[in-house]
Structure 1
């Protein structure tokens, strides 16, 4: 019996050995065919704690340029998006550090967003190599200091000049009224003029304060999800009385439901200032149109008037503080020369821009462009060609001019 089981046992052992050898061969073959895994340098708790304790904005990059760790403000300032550095200048600086291993300090100005003409942020940047092919980027935001320097440089010269006019006028009128104390009719006339100058002075001071707040280094913009429809509706409501008193029709149209990420009150101020400007340069009985449309992830709010238009030599200056295309008309209508400058700074604080198309005799189109809160696509096609107004409100009439030439 024992002899008869021996061949069976030997056969089973041989079968097991063969199976094991086959499995070992297959495992070896598969192991050789796989690419070797490159270990990703981990961020230790000590390194993470150290980066969190730094006052500077910090970004730790892996060997392949991927972001291993970044402080929250690296995202809010737009330095990092989708796990990568956003700006080419930063990537070039990192590449130079990798090439020679030297620490580099640079001053860089980078755009706040991808919108052309968006405000630029100023950073003092230090890039240093670390072990394991990693690179550490430290950035100190100098934007507030830059703005403060600009405000200090321009504020005194501009404001002192502008305040002298109404203050001097009030003083002269008061002196003249005192000399005409025996003539009630002259006193009433001079008192009315003093009242107009006082109203103008009050508006000027109010807008100076608003502009200074927008340019202040500690300006805090309360960014929330904002309805563009609500912004336009409130802005139009604020100028409705003046428009009706001059028989100017305000027409609103375009794409509804757009949303942006920003400050509701500041956006209302910007759109209202554009409407105020349109009314100021429009004749009685004409029309002002407000159009809204999405374009490449941007919400465009265009205000179109039928005014006299602006010459090409002035279109580049209309957003300057205290610049007036027609100073005489501004004095008559109470314009301060700050409204469009405020619009520009509101747009920049929201990562957007304000643009102008105008031609003498063909009116003007001011377009406020703010990044949308989320991607809604390009929306429906314009009712005319791609260079038509952002919104041609239904029933607005047939204005054939092109407010958005190719740019």
Structure 2
């Protein structure tokens, strides 16, 4: 009998110990889940999908400002490294939202990542996400600001450039009316009026051309073209002026190179380079124009023996209205748009343009375009 009670007692103790052990296991499991939630916080449902779909930068931060969720754009823009915000300005905005609980939106300027050069402009919006997290969205507006600056500069420059010939035309017309009885003065003023009118016409035409080049469908119907024929046409447009300045234009041997593109636009681009070379060359000098094929690239080179371009200005020569020597450019009728047009034409044809120059030693401009393969012959429908 005593042995039976002993067995029952041992069984009861075992059940009690087992129940306690199971309880401890459940408590340990709950503690473990809490620890996991602390280490790996759970953000509200759907945030992962939203961040993956964002083209801009999106980040979710935990109470310690660790970035626990991020969109691909945030990494690409260099805003997050090793799950930390790179820029203290962003961290300060997050802290402000935590303190006030209010959503905020600001325009800020940030450097390009930890090792980047230059700066980027962002529209940043920060808001609380639940009770523990903060959502930070950053939209890159760098290009938008740049275009706004270009637009403002263009309007300011075009206003200045148009003001000069328009004022000159008005003054000359008034002078003509007062000199009606003086044939010599009339002829002199009429000649200057013709010059200023031509300058105004060139400027207006180049503005129209530049606007056309920025249209998306400028090469909607490219043609198979001979670069040798295009170079010949462009040079012929400059021969009269070159002969007046006693400048010789020399064309290299035929290249038989072909490209796809717009014939008139390419003629304009090469014409502008040759015209610049002539305008900035001295009497008795030479301008060389050559074409060569180089591993699928067609290179058109225009070389002069003129005044050259200072090294500090080489990066700016393709800007609208930029002139290395504004006084000489105005004297020769330059608008400051020629090289900008060249750059846009070349880019629209999938190429690039390069310049080498040295003050007093002349300049070399090189257009590089993709070489075209001959089109397949059209089917005749005849059976062999």
Q: Does TM-score exceed 0.5, indicating one fold? A: yes
> How far is 1:163 from its partner?
0.5
Q: TM-score, normalised by structure 1?
A: 0.54
> How far is 1:249 from its partner?
1.6
* Equivalent residue, structure 1, for 2:241: 242
Q: 1:152 to 1:219 in 2, by over 3 A?
A: farther
Higher RCO structure (Cα 8 Å, ≥6 apart)? 1
1:123-202 matches, within 5 Å, as 152-202=151-201
Q: 1:341 to 1:221 in 2, by over 3 A?
A: farther
1:8-407 matches, within 5 Å, as 103-106=52-55, 152-253=151-252, 256-374=255-373
> How far is 1:156 from its partner?
2.3
Q: 1:284 to 1:298 in 2, by over 3 A?
A: same
Q: 1:200 to 1:371 in 2, by over 3 A?
A: same
Q: 1:101 to 1:191 in 2, by over 3 A?
A: closer
> How far is 1:255 from its partner?
6.2
Gaps of 5+ in 2: 1-48, 57-72, 77-143, 375-384
Answer whether contact 1:148 1:216 (CA < 8 A) is retained: no
- Note the alpha carbon deviations across 1:25-79, whole angstroms, 9 max, x for none: xxxxxxxxxxxxxxxxxxxxxxxxxxxxxxxxxxxxxxxxxxxxxxxxxxxxxxx
Answer whether contact 2:219 2:261 (CA < 8 A) is retained: no
> How far is 1:300 from its partner?
0.8
> How far is 1:269 from its partner?
1.0
SS in 2 for 1:316: helix
> How far is 1:185 from its partner?
2.4
Answer whether contact 1:147 1:215 (CA < 8 A) is retained: no
| Larger Rg over CA atoms | 2
Answer whether contact 1:229 1:258 (CA < 8 A) is retained: yes
Structure 1 CA distance for aligned equivalents of residues 157 and 211 of structure 2: 12
> How far is 1:279 from its partner?
0.7
RMSD: 3.0
Q: 1:103 to 1:268 in 2, by over 3 A?
A: same
SS in 2 for 1:106: coil
- Note the alpha carbon deviations across 1:124-143, whole angstroms, 9 max, x for none: xxxxxxxxxxxxxxxxxxxx
SS in 2 for 1:244: helix
* Equivalent residue, structure 1, for 2:38: none
SS in 2 for 1:257: coil
Structure 2 CA distance for aligned equivalents of residues 105 and 219 of structure 1: 32
> How far is 1:348 from its partner?
0.8
- Note the alpha carbon deviations across 1:261-297, whole angstroms, 9 max, x for none: 2222211111111001111111222111011122342
SS in 2 for 1:331: helix
Answer whether contact 1:151 1:215 (CA < 8 A) is retained: no
SS in 2 for 1:212: helix
Structure 2 CA distance for aligned equivalents of residues 334 and 101 of structure 1: 57
> How far is 1:374 from its partner?
4.0
Structure 2 CA distance for aligned equivalents of residues 351 and 166 of structure 1: 35
SS in 1 for 2:284: coil
What number of residue pairs does the alignment pair up? 243
Gaps of 5+ in 1: 1-99, 110-144, 376-407
Q: 1:148 to 1:327 in 2, by over 3 A?
A: closer
> How far is 1:152 from its partner?
4.6
- Note the alpha carbon deviations across 1:71-98, whole angstroms, 9 max, x for none: xxxxxxxxxxxxxxxxxxxxxxxxxxxx
* Equivalent residue, structure 1, for 2:36: none
Answer whether contact 2:219 2:348 (CA < 8 A) is retained: no
Q: TM-score, normalised by structure 2?
A: 0.57
Structure 2 CA distance for aligned equivalents of residues 221 and 289 of structure 1: 32
Answer whether contact 1:270 1:343 (CA < 8 A) is retained: yes
> How far is 1:216 from its partner?
2.7
